[in-house]
Amino acid sequence: MGRLIVVSNRVQPPDAAGAGATGGLAVALSAALREYSGLWFGWSGETVDAFTGHLSMRKVGGVTLALMDLDEHDVHEYYNGYANRTLWPLFHYRTDLVAYERSFDEGYARVNARFAESLLPLIEPDDLIWVQDYHLLPLARALRRRGARNPIGFFLHIPWPARQIFTTLPRHAELVEALFDYDLIGFQTADSLQAFADYVKESAGGEVLPGGIAMAFGKRARIGAFPIGIDVAEITEGLKSDRAKAEFERVRASLLGRKMILGVDRLDYSKGLEERFLAYEQYLEDHPEGREHVFLLQIATPTRDEVEAYQDIRGRLESLSGRINGAYADVDWVPVRYVNKTYRRDALTGIYRAAHVALVTPLRDGMNLVAKEYVAAQDPDDPGVLVLSEQAGAAEQMREALIVNPFNREAVAEAIRRGLAMPLAERKDRWQALFDGVSTDDVAAWRDSFVAALKNEATADQPLRASANAR
Ligand code: ADP
Ligand code: G6P
């Protein structure tokens, strides 16, 4: 096999990972690519006045990074527009937040074409190409139209929505038809895979054969579920660092005998932060005996701040945390510590370890790596309790967590109570099962299973691809 070329909108250089990468995709790929001497291609995150197509190349720890800048229209129409005002809310079931604008479609197509044009000269015949996430759904089509014949796989980090939701998207068929230019299409969960298969059968008039061959639009692609994992060693090594130890001590010293409930998220409306605050308020209301013996530390990193829905959620959380603190705080106790900082990854491990309960309660989430990182960072002799939303992809695997409906305030409040009171033996049993799962299904297993399946398609599908390319 030639090289592995990974393409994603967001690129996180492996050397910068310690410096506070946020977003599951960048964190996971950074971990996955450390093993391959591959190429990682994507947006630099910089905006320039006029697009030039110039690539800045550098090598970091065996990985070659090739980054391009985008212009203001690109960022407005493609990143803030079609990706984050159309696809993101739609795929997270927030049809009320979806914006459809013709210019977003055009910008999305234009930037995917720009990615293809800039990437094409770097591709060698033996390379495997692995495209990531909803920003780049039509990239294989753009590459094939320009003559690329390599095996190309796609992995969706966010949920694939139910057919009834997806079909509200104007030109939905065009988008799925473009996906069939990939050889392999990967999803996080069996649930997303099923939703995609439903679309193929019911809306595209295609079929899905046993073994995961989808056929529609006169083409075929293999489809499968490849749940993403974490780099467990990165967390366990991180815990040994001076920074993690100092952070752990700092948090523990601030407890003054209290228990800490922790949330760590990008400040995204899909994460259910408002509902979480309200559930915690409910807990305080229902359990006066718990007040002053517990607090919630919510770390929420601002994200996509040019998009109005993100400005709105930020404002609402500020007032909600203020309201709860106003109602319940005392001279020596604040019930909500609300922090908008990004922490270094090693520091974060110390904070995870110091927490007695983690609240991971997204309203919808492709997987959720915070749930897995929290488990990996626990002390085996005194582990904390994970409260996990049934709407996170991680809930398909992490059955030993306290699974909750994030919209059910009373149920989440009860899970908080149960987590805080859980006896050591039960905490250990649950944690051990969760840790075993997180260790086995880690980021290397995810990467290797996807790459193996793509290679498999490469050998199985040569004649078909050659004829598809000729079209
Ligand atoms: P998403 O990809 O939607 O952001 P995930 O939970 O899958 O959600 O991944 C989030 C990643 O970002 C995790 O690796 C987490 O450690 C990291 N992260 C989130 N918030 C912070 C923060 N405030 N400081 C440092 N890392 C963070
Ligand atoms: C999620 C998405 C990623 C994205 C990340 C951070 O994990 O699936 O594609 O990179 O959020 O969002 P951002 O817009 O900052 O890249």
Specify the residue with its C-alpha closest to ligand 2, atom 14.
304
Distance CA 47, CA 26 (A): 19
Specify the residue with its C-alpha closest to ligand 1, atom 27.
22
**What's the pLDDT at 467?**
43
Tokens 């110390």 appear where?
350
Nearest residue to 100 via CA among 90, 110, 91: 90
Cα–ligand 2 centroid distance for 207 (angstroms): 31
Beta bridge partners, 222, equal 184, 213
Crossing angle of helices 242-255 and 232-240, in 10° steps, is: 70
Q: Which atom of ligand 2 is nearest to the CA of 22?
A: 6
Q: Which atom of ligand 2 is nearest to the CA of 157?
A: 8
Cα–ligand 1 centroid distance for 45 (angstroms): 18
Cβ–ligand 1 distance for 370 under 6 Å, the answer yes
Q: Which atom of ligand 2 is nearest to the CA of 366?
A: 8
**What's the pLDDT at 435?**
98
Specify the residue with its C-alpha closest to ligand 1, atom 17.
22
Query: Which mutation among 157, 160, 306 tests ligand 2's pocket best, with the greatest number of atoms within 8 A of CB?
Result: 157
Cβ–ligand 1 distance for 368 under 6 Å, the answer yes
Q: Report the 10 Å Cβ neighbour count for 318.
A: 12
Cα–ligand 1 centroid distance for 269 (angstroms): 14
**Which tokens sit at 204?**
């595209």
Tokens 């579920």 appear where?
225
Given a contact cutoff of 8 angstroms between Cβ atoms, the answer to whether 344 and 389 are in contact is no
Residue 62's region, left for phi above 0, alpha for psi from -120 to 50, else beta, is left
Cβ–ligand 1 distance for 302 under 6 Å, the answer no
- Measured CA distances, 405 to 389, 409, 410, 422, 433 (Å): 6, 8, 10, 20, 22
Cα–ligand 2 centroid distance for 44 (angstroms): 14
Residues 6 or more apart in contact with residue 246 via CB below 8 angstroms? 350
Specify the residue with its C-alpha closest to ligand 2, atom 11.
23
| DSSP-assigned letter for residue 211 | T
DSSP letters of 439-450?
Answer: HHS-HHHHHHHH
Distance CA 325, CA 321 (A): 6
Q: Which atom of ligand 1 is nearest to the CA of 270?
A: 3
Residues 6 or more apart in contact with residue 121 via CB below 8 angstroms? none
In the predicted model, residues of the chain with pLDDT beneath 50 are 17, 463-464, 466-471
Specify the residue with its C-alpha closest to ligand 1, atom 4.
23
DSSP letters of 93-118?
Answer: T-GGG----HHHHHHHHHHHHHHHHH
Specify the residue with its C-alpha closest to ligand 2, atom 4.
23
Ligand in nearest proximity to the CA of 310: 2
Specify the residue with its C-alpha closest to ligand 2, atom 12.
23
Ligand in nearest proximity to the CA of 267: 1
Collapsed DSSP state (helix, strand, coil) of residue 233 = helix
- Measured CA distances, 229 to 121, 204, 393 (Å): 32, 32, 11
Ligand 2, pocket residues at CB < 6 Å: 10, 23-26, 133, 157-158, 303-304
Distance CA 328, CA 204 (A): 54
Cα–ligand 2 centroid distance for 292 (angstroms): 36
Max intra-chain CA distance, the chain: 74
Cα–ligand 1 centroid distance for 37 (angstroms): 25
pTM attached to this predicted model:
0.96
Please, is 46 exposed, middle or buried when counting C-beta atoms within 10 Å of its C-beta (0-12, 13-18, 19+)? exposed
Cα–ligand 1 centroid distance for 21 (angstroms): 7
Active site residues: 157, 365
**What's the pLDDT at 36?**
74
What is the tens place of the pLDDT at every residue in 62-113? 789 999 999 999 999 999 999 999 999 999 999 999 999 999 999 999 999 9
Nearest residue to 420 via CA among 274, 268, 296: 296
- Measured CA distances, 201 to 184, 216, 219, 457 (Å): 18, 8, 14, 22
Beta bridge partners, 339, equal 299
Rounded (5°) CA angle 129-134-139: 40
Nearest residue to 441 via CA among 389, 343, 375, 351: 375
What is the tens place of the pLDDT at every residue in 217-272? 999 999 999 999 999 999 999 999 999 999 999 999 999 999 999 999 999 999 99
**What's the pLDDT at 462?**
52
Q: Which atom of ligand 2 is nearest to the CA of 8?
A: 9
- Measured CA distances, 45 to 9, 10, 48, 129 (Å): 9, 7, 10, 21
Q: Report the 10 Å Cβ neighbour count for 418.
A: 14
Query: Which mutation among 264, 268, 299 tests ligand 1's pocket best, with the greatest number of atoms within 8 A of CB?
Result: 264
Cα–ligand 2 centroid distance for 84 (angstroms): 9
Given a contact cutoff of 8 angstroms between Cβ atoms, the answer to whether 145 and 154 are in contact is no
**What's the pLDDT at 386?**
99
